[in-house]
Chain A
Amino acid sequence: MPLLQVGNITKRFPGVLALRDVDLALHRGEVLAVIGENGAGKSTLMKILAGVQPPDSGDIRLDGQPVRIDSPRAAIDLGISLIHQELNLCDNLSAGANIFLGREPRRHGLIDRDAIHQQSLQALQRVGLDISPDTLIGSLPIGRRQLVEIARALSTDARILIMDEPTSSLTGEEAETLFAVIRELRTNGVSVIYISHRLGEVQGLADRVLVLRDGENAGELSGDTGPITHDHMVSLMVGRDVTQFYARQAHTVGDPVLEVEDLIVPTWPQHRLNFSVRSGEIVGVAGLVGAGRTELLHSLFGIAPPLSGSIRVDNQPATPASPIDAIRAGIALVPEDRQQQGLILEISLRHNIGLPGLRRHRQTLGFADRRRERDDADRMITRLDIRTPGPDQIVQYLSGGNQQKVVLGKWLALEPCVLLLDEPTRGIDVGAKEEIYRLMEELAASGVAILFVSSEMEEILGMSDRTLVMHEGRITGQLERADLSEETIMRLATGKAA
């Protein structure tokens, strides 16, 4: 008998059927991966299991007994803990205080600090964390915070851990530690539901894989019946065979547009960076999280101006002191954090697309060129196929993929000659990804120099003409397309000599 048996779960949001008759079974001491495109219903299903949202219908059985999970509290009492994508820890409290937050052991009405210390020390040891319970959470790297969160879940006697994209902000090493902890937990009889977009991880970790598509069960893969393969998972997710996903075409590469010489990025003052990107070229920047890739883009775009060195665009000096300078030089940046850096969620699509161009197209007395803004928005909606009721839609009501298109649109309207992209397809579904790849291809063909940072190996392999690999602030290698392979990239990215 499975530990957790979920049957016929249906959840309807106004106008949208998020889940339809979804089944899920989880056995004791098993890692079950749940995969699917964005909007497939994974998060909704997990929220139902964690008591964040009630299902409309369906039943949930734990140890064969029907249970009601009508609050996060109830879920925890039943031994189900959700580890959130965004960590739910207080930076200003110690690890121990976080582990017992909201259920502090008390003595004479006061918090029993000794008990917290001892019990959280045990909990931390269970996840292999060798830190004092008094360590401030804010001083720990993300990977360790996640382990603290897992320790907190275990200390509530969780039998089922639900992890939602746990590795999305971890370095490779931190992820490996996490996997080791998960395997250890599995051996000890804890069951894990693991949600991830990273199929490579799923392949290595999961005993079984449950695939959701459009809110329904799309299939299940089990390690017992043969290896769980990447292609198999993708074809179940998209409901069709994966054909040539990255439609790269041969095109002529022109003169260097972006030339970087002896650039010193503020976060890594000991290294000088040298590279160039030519017209029509797509250059990928690979590396582990924390390798200094985003910081490089930030320096090129003037967010964190370089300490020294020169940047030239089209043979003109273009070392920016601020994004304003970079924009004037023809550089555009699609930043990593779409919602916080890329868009102003509370204003309309039209005003978002118009914002960077306001200065360039200003009229006398600083009046905004509203006709131009309207035209740009209409043009971008058509060109990028942004699915929106109209240009006046507030962008926070658009889906992730369409929001990302708005970010692209606001820069394309300025016709940049250098386009910097930081994780351009993070958190968007397969269909929108494909469109963004096609657009990158199109822009390159029209002569734009593209530099893109990506943590998805496939994307780097599929899209780049040339790849820069970074490790701890240095460029450890430049690989032509012919020399590109996962192994060489990983070797350079981990700092081993090429």
Chain B
Amino acid sequence: MKKILGISGLLLFVFLVTWIAEPRFATAYNLQNIIRWSSLFGIISIGVSFVIITAGIDLSIGSVIGLSGCLLPMLLIGSGWPAPAALLAVLGVAAAIGLLHGFLITRLGLQPFVVTLCGLLFYRGLARWITADQVQGFGAAHDSLRQLATGKIPLTESFALPIPFLIMVLLGIAAALFLNRTIYGRYLLALGNNQEAARYSGVPIERMILLAYVICACTAGLGGILFALDVNSVQPASQGNFYELYAIAAAVLGGCSLRGGEGSILGVIIGAAVMRVLYNAINVLGIPTQLEFAIIGTVILAGVVADELIRRVAARRRAVREAGGWPTENADQRLDPGQ
């Protein structure tokens, strides 16, 4: 909970500073754009957080976004598939990718970093090959389908809520319920903390890890669909490039530990929003865009450092409180960080 307050504070801070420095930042148009993009990135960040909770990583997200972004227009326009069939097919490909990752990681015992790094290269190459590097798009067709990414629901006269926001909220609620209220979510958190003890407690380790990679790849596929519908011109060589890093950064900002076993869906969503607001602020404030990565990197690092410092202070306070408030026979051992 404290983490969510912290990251919300950071979001508010960046938001207010930018708004004060440049009032045009808060125009309805700009805010709607920020919300739409934050939501799209929120969706893929939710997915990767499941993998990170198992102490794994998925570096292939950006390439999966690129591949599914190419596949969708190819199936719809090139092969003339009906929209539901094309959407299902793209999600099916994404799920199969997740299964493959999970299989290689759990059955062959390969390292998630290596498996998904190879995925990053492979799916990108595949996307460029099947499209012959040609830009893919929907042209003027499938306007109603494109509403999934570009549509808005008017709330007031000047402000309308982008549809991706609703998709992200629904997905977020489902993910939070899954993570915190179902036995599967509890299994994921347990095995992320201590895989061996989880196994000794009857947690089906392999199936749960497999599931995490499938969830991650599916949200990447969904993200790929929405990003493609949004931009309408998919560059096979660059669509989704680096998005895995944004997603991982959002998850870490939002309270996931790369050591596993920790994470909150709300935090991750806010983390994704911080990234987009920052990105937008850099544009709006006229900061040289060459500095974009440097600034985002600095803010994430500052956030993580602050979090670690707060954690240490809290741990010390807790130790004092525990030792003072409760008779423990092993206080000497517990307090020594060396043990």
Q: Taking beta carbons and an 8 Å cutoff, which residues of A are in contact with B?
A: 11, 13-16, 18, 37-39, 41, 43-44, 47, 52-53, 301, 303, 322-324, 326-327, 333, 335, 340-347, 351, 354-356, 358-359, 362, 365-368, 370, 387, 389, 396-401, 410, 429
Q: Which 9 A-B pairs have the closest CB atoms?
A: A15-B324, A39-B329, A15-B323, A16-B331, A358-B183, A14-B320, A399-B330, A366-B182, A18-B332
Beyond A358-B183, A366-B183, A399-B328, whether A347 also contacts B200 by CB under 8 A is no
B14-22, B147-155, B190-198, B294-302: which lies at the interface:
B190-198
| Chain B, Cβ-Cβ closest to A410 | B201
Please report the C-alpha to C-alpha distance between residue A367 and residue B184 in the assembled complex, in whole angstroms. 8
B261, A346: Cβ atoms closer than 8 Å: yes
B334, A303: Cβ atoms closer than 8 Å: no
Question: Taking the nearest CB of chain B, how far is it from the CB of A184, in angstroms?
Answer: 31
Please report the C-alpha to C-alpha distance between residue A366 and residue B335 in the assembled complex, in whole angstroms. 39
**With contacts A13-B331, A359-B202, A389-B325 known, what are 9 further pairs, Cβ within 8 A?**
A11-B332, A13-B323, A15-B325, A343-B197, A344-B197, A347-B193, A387-B326, A400-B329, A401-B329
Question: Quick check: is B9 within 8 A (CB to CB) of the other chain?
Answer: no
Produce 1/0 per residue, B177-220, CB < 8 A to A: 00001111011011001101111111110000000000000000
Please report the C-alpha to C-alpha distance between residue A303 and residue B202 in the assembled complex, in whole angstroms. 10
Question: Taking the nearest CB of chain B, how far is it from the CB of A344, in angstroms?
Answer: 5
Q: Which of B182, B202, B319, B323 contacts A323 (CB 8 A)?
A: B202
Chain A residue numbers with a CB within 8 Å of B319 are 14
Chain B residue numbers with a CB within 8 Å of A335 are 200
A387, B327: Cβ atoms closer than 8 Å: yes
A366, B194: Cβ atoms closer than 8 Å: no
| Chain B, Cβ-Cβ closest to A400 | B330
A347, B189: Cβ atoms closer than 8 Å: yes
Beyond A14-B323, A347-B190, A355-B203, whether A340 also contacts B182 by CB under 8 A is no
Please report the C-alpha to C-alpha distance between residue A31 and residue B198 in the assembled complex, in whole angstroms. 43
Chain A residue numbers with a CB within 8 Å of B197 are 340-344
Please report the C-alpha to C-alpha distance between residue A362 and residue B183 in the assembled complex, in whole angstroms. 7
Chain B residue numbers with a CB within 8 Å of A398 are 328
| Chain A, Cβ-Cβ closest to B320 | A14
Question: Quick check: is B311 within 8 A (CB to CB) of the other chain?
Answer: no
Chain B residue numbers with a CB within 8 Å of A18 are 331-332
Please report the C-alpha to C-alpha distance between residue A358 and residue B334 in the assembled complex, in whole angstroms. 30
Chain A residue numbers with a CB within 8 Å of B334 are 396-397, 399
Most chain B CB neighbours (cut-off 10 Å) among A16, A327, A367, A429: A16
Beyond A340-B196, A344-B197, whether A366 also contacts B329 by CB under 8 A is no
Please report the C-alpha to C-alpha distance between residue A340 and residue B200 in the assembled complex, in whole angstroms. 10
| Chain A, Cβ-Cβ closest to B181 | A367
Question: Taking the nearest CB of chain B, how far is it from the CB of A112, in angstroms?
Answer: 32
Question: Taking the nearest CB of chain B, how far is it from the CB of A427, in angstroms?
Answer: 10
Chain A residue numbers with a CB within 8 Å of B186 are 351, 354-355, 358, 368
Please report the C-alpha to C-alpha distance between residue A341 and residue B187 in the assembled complex, in whole angstroms. 15
**Could you jot down 14 A-B contacts, CB within 8 Å?**
A14-B319, A14-B335, A15-B320, A16-B328, A16-B332, A39-B328, A323-B199, A323-B202, A324-B202, A344-B201, A346-B262, A355-B202, A356-B201, A358-B186
B164-186 interface with A by 8 A CB criterion: 181-184, 186
